[in-house]
């Protein structure tokens, strides 16, 4: 029987607090892995998140301090302001 299961792959924490995730879908036949598909996404520092994977929740709790969230938002707003003044 062929089954699929999600697996959290590589987690990379960037300097500005963003967390890059490589999420895998493991495809198995009779319990033996026959293929693996990858999907990447980036989580931005935020005071709210909907992640439920315990390892990821612990990382978010450790990395996304109030200071990191505030600085991330400040830099993003400065970038948006810079782009808007060029128009």
pLDDT 10s digits, 2-59: 999 999 989 999 999 999 999 999 999 999 999 999 999 999 998 788 888 899 999 9
The torsion angle over the Cα atoms of residues 57, 60, 61 and 63, rounded to 10 degrees, is 160
- Please report, for the chain, the start and end positions of each structural domain, with discontinuous segments joined by +: 2-86
What b-and-e string marks burial along 29-49, b requiring 16 or more CB atoms within 10 Å of the CB?
Answer: eeeeeeeeeeeeeebebeeee
Q: Are 3 and 9 in contact (CB under 8 A)?
A: no
* Residues 45, 51, 55, 57, Cα dihedral to 10°: 50
Whole-structure pTM value: 0.79
């Amino acid at each position: 029987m062929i089954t699929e299961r999600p697996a959290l792959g590589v987690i990379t924490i960037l300097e500005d607090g963003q967390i890059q995730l490589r999420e895998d879908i493991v495809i198995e036949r009779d319990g033996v892995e026959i293929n693996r598909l990858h999907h990447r996404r980036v989580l931005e520092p935020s005071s709210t998140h909907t992640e439920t994977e315990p390892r990821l929740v612990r990382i978010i709790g450790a990395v996304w301090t109030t200071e990191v969230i505030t600085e991330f938002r400040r830099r993003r707003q400065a970038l948006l302001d810079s782009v808007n003044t060029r128009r």
